[in-house]
Amino acid sequence: MISRSIVSSRLAVVFAGFGLLLALGCGDDTGLSRRYPVSGTVKYKGEPVAKGQITFAPTSADGRAANGDIVDGSYSLTTATPGDGALPGSYNVTVVSVEADTTKLKEVAKGGQFHHDKDFGKAVASAKKLVPSKYSLADTSGLKAEVKAQSNKFDFDLTD
């Protein structure tokens, strides 16, 4: 027969181990591994890009993309929750920055939603590109980043 003190100490060890596993977990309910802060600047011809979108696309199949808004040349990345950063790994980076006449887009919008019809396509096509189109595709941007398990800063200076 097992004594009460042995059972109590074994239960204590089990609960302590369970508590340790919880403490070492990823800390959120996304189910993803720990993400690390990623921020930086985006310039075109030496000037901060006023607005746009930056995307870090993983080079490995098991990676997960992260993206962020560019505001006055600065960005920070989100993978799952706002500002959570990116998973460690290698990334191809894309930048899209356009200035669209939103009055035309709003005219095309019906009931508050954009409809992908001929007029919508024309409005989008007429958007002024603030950076060259080559930066909008991972295959042609030439931009790369290696996110490490630490706080990361990547600055990109785009040219023609």
pLDDT of residue 24: 41
- Judge if pTM exceeds 0.75: no
pLDDT of residue 100: 76
Does residue 22 lie within any of the structural domains? no
pLDDT of residue 125: 74
Does residue 15 lie within any of the structural domains? no
Does residue 60 lie within any of the structural domains? yes
Please identify every stretch of the chain with a pLDDT value under 70, giving residue numbers as ranges. 1-28, 101-117, 119-120, 123-124
How many domains does the chain contain in total? 1
Nearest to 79 by CA among 52, 105, 57, 98: 57
Does residue 88 lie within any of the structural domains? yes
Does residue 82 lie within any of the structural domains? yes
Does residue 21 lie within any of the structural domains? no
Does residue 31 lie within any of the structural domains? no
| Alpha helix segments (H runs only) across 81-129 | 102-108, 118-125
pLDDT digits (tens, 9 = 90+) for 43-66: 999 999 999 999 999 999 999 999
CA-to-CA distance for 37 and 73, rounded, in angstroms? Answer: 17
Q: Domain of 110?
A: 36-152
